Chain A
Amino acid sequence: MARYLIRRILLAVVTMFAVSVLTFLLFFAVPTSPAYVMCGKQCDAHAIAQTEQRLGLDKPIVTQYGEFMKGIAVGRTYGTGDLAVKCDAPCLGFSFRTNEPVTDIIKRTLPVTVSVVVGALVIQLVIGVGLGMISALRRGTAFDKAAVGVSLVGASMQIYFFGPILLLIFVYSLHWLPNPAYTSPFDDPFKWFTQMILPWVTLGFLNSAIYARLSRAQMLETLSEDFVRTARAKGLPKRKVYARHALRAAITPIVTIAGLDLGGALGGAVITETVFGVNGLGRTSVNAVNDLNLPVVMGTVLLAAFFIICMNIIVDVLYSVIDPRVRLS
């Protein structure tokens, strides 16, 4: 187990390294002149050169990458003399637009995204998985048919269509809910909750549809397994057969998928946050992309990749805990 983990983490580090190199190349080698992009149209050649020097963009790309990585590890200093700006570890640079450290931007916006994603995850696990399991147990009934139909439409529905519909109904027409925004739950839990309902429901419901389909298929497959028949042959009551034997086996792959989804949740959050105008990491990165605010984009991409890689490891370990047949070695 320990050896497996070490090997796994080493591999993850290598992968993370490769991701960072590729991302770095894309952002700092591909564009004609990052300094030009950063400086904007009003800059003359002199200003651009100054910027390049301050950011170290005149150095060879390998050195630039080295400095960038060093910045993440121990921090770095941009520029020299009076103009020197210290950037503490983990340093991801400064926003081209506001000069705010990227790390601060992430710290500010990440809780918003976590709020959106975790709330939606709760909905999709409770409603999605619950619906799928129940409709599998009631296969062929009106309930099942309705659930299958709804989840089919839901799985084809898009956030950028469903979100506006809900906005139109609940905010603009009925005025039941405030316009979505983010308030820290520690400041005003009620406000946080009411403002977050719409993003949660939108993202959560659409994902529920996908999870319902998945869980239903998984549960149906499990119900036809021999060990479920064995459980019934023992004389176990239905409730126990389903809860202890069928559910236990059917839920395992869903846990895995939910873990991997959580790792990649930032992608879904981008659209949700944009639809509702919530200033999370996703919306911030979209804005940064549209401004070609490279350090912010770079930071987001690296962070997102880090999440994905971490969740992969966590899911693997979790799987070995749930399923005794999987031995990590």
Chain B
Amino acid sequence: MTQTPAGPHDYAEAPAGGLAVGEAPLGEPGEEVVAAGGKAIVGRSPGQLAWIRLKRDRVALVSGIVLVVMFILAIAAPLISKLYGANATDQHSDLLDTSGYPLGYLGGISGSHWLGLEPQLGRDVLMQLIYGMRTSLVIAFVSAIITVAIGIIIGIIAGYAGGVVDSILNWVIDLVLAFPFFIFCLAAIPVVTDAVYGSRGDVSALFRVGLIIGVFACFSWTYPARLVRGQVLSLREREFVEAARAAGAGMGHILFRQLLPNIWAPILVVFSLNVPSFITGEAALSFLNIGVVEPTPDLGRMINNGTSFLQTDPFYTMVSGATILILVLAFNLFGDSVRDALDPKSSR
């Protein structure tokens, strides 16, 4: 096969043979024909091709910019706080009326408090949002990284070892999947907190964050593990791995040099799905009062606080809800684009 189409098919498996490459299907004859033709661009790795496709995608561009802005805001939160002149915890009670609602319109928007103040406590909403995003992103990213890491390790072990080890790990995966994830999360967090802190009360924010991450990781590694296992099973029979084995390559070499580079794409996809789902999961826990504790700012808890003032000061709930929505939407859109770029056959 000398054929090197630049069309959307390189990432898919190489066609089986000779001239019998798939003919134009009924629905979309054009695409196949283009694929067969294509411009003669030679020697691009799937990664490069995916990158080229991603750069062309306008949705990816917009959502990517939104994400970068949010990241910068979250990282630079202390700096912003300094420039802006307020932080997330100061209570500006002088700007509240007697019943604890911010003075002025739309939750007390003013030159010094751009998104107004929190009812009752009088904290600055903008800074709470920015610090809340920081909390969300830290939890989501760390959880996703740990989840994927555990998944890769267990998946590779199950897929590569096979036999009894594989059966046991598979059963463990089934077991974990049988746990009602969300309900178990919300049950486990207070119980473990109680076990560690007992009646002493003051739970450290770091401990709670760590606990949430731990619980997320405990229940979410199954999907990447299954995926990696499946990939490893199909890859280990492929020629290049056989060849490496025949050449006397060690286990470590085969795993990390031969297998991993071939499964990074699906792993990236899982990662891009996990991050937004952890953001919403964390916010949901906090919404139920089981997430991050005061005074660490948190988006989910902001919504929860806001629901008590829904009739009197809806702006507070709307602002925090919209922030989560934008964050998650940007992640989902960007994740979709990444998926499309990696697997052009997927139809969105």
Contact = CB atoms under 8 A, between A and B. Distances in A.
A275 B325 contact: no
Interface string A276-299: 000000000110011010100110
Interface in B302-337: 303-304, 306-307, 310-311, 314, 317-318, 321-322, 324-325, 328-329, 331-333, 336
A221 B345 CA distance: 9
Interface residues of B, number: 56
B221 interface: no
Contacts of B333: 152
A318 B317 CA distance: 43
Interface stretch (A55-63, A81-89, A266-274): A266-274
A15 B317 CA distance: 41
Interface in A8-23: 11, 15-16, 18-19, 22-23
B332 A155 contact: yes
Given A19-B175, A217-B347, A156 B332 contact: yes
Nearest to A277: B307
Given A15-B178, A26-B188, A267-B181, A229 B26 contact: yes
A65 interface: no
Given A152-B332, A229-B26, A297 B187 contact: yes
Contacts of B194: 31-32, 37, 292
A30 B287 contact: no
Nearest to A159: B284
Nearest to A37: B194
Interface in A122-164: 148, 152-153, 155-158, 160-161, 164
Interface in B130-161: none
A309 interface: yes
A229 B26 CA distance: 6
A329 B93 CA distance: 69
B28 interface: yes
B274 to A, nearest CB: 15
Contacts of A30: 191-192, 195
B348 interface: yes
A195 to B, nearest CB: 18
B325 A161 contact: yes
B179 A19 contact: yes
Contacts of A286: 186, 288, 290
Contact of A158 (B177, B184, B284, B332): B284
A221 B25 CA distance: 12
A319 interface: no
A155 B283 CA distance: 15
A298 to B, nearest CB: 8
B114 interface: no
A224 to B, nearest CB: 5
Nearest to A32: B198
A301 interface: yes
Contact of B175 (A15, A41, A158, A226): A15
Contact of B329 (A153, A275, A304): A153
Interface in A294-325: 294, 297-298, 300-301, 304-305, 307-309, 312
B174 interface: yes
Contacts of A102: none
Contacts of A267: 180-183
A148 B333 CA distance: 12
A224 B191 contact: no
Interface in B177-217: 177-184, 186-188, 190-192, 194-195, 198-199
A264 B311 contact: no
B300 A232 contact: no
B120 interface: no
A4 interface: no
A300 B177 CA distance: 16
A224 B290 contact: no
B180 A304 contact: yes
A120 interface: no
Contact of A156 (B27, B287, B290, B325): B325
Contacts of A16: 178
B183 A271 contact: no
Interface in A142-191: 148, 152-153, 155-158, 160-161, 164-165, 167-168, 172
A192 interface: no
Given A158-B284, A229-B25, A266-B183, A290 B178 contact: no
B346 interface: yes
A264 B180 contact: yes
B321 A304 contact: no
29 contacts: A11-B174, A19-B175, A26-B188, A26-B192, A30-B192, A32-B195, A152-B336, A156-B331, A160-B283, A160-B287, A161-B303, A161-B324, A164-B303, A164-B307, A217-B346, A217-B348, A223-B27, A267-B180, A270-B288, A274-B288, A286-B186, A289-B187, A290-B289, A292-B190, A298-B187, A300-B183, A301-B180, A301-B187, A308-B177
Given A26-B188, A271-B287, A308-B178, 11 more contacts: A15-B171, A31-B191, A160-B283, A160-B300, A160-B321, A164-B314, A168-B314, A217-B348, A270-B288, A292-B190, A297-B191
* Pairs A-B, 3 closest by C-beta atoms: A161-B321, A304-B180, A267-B182
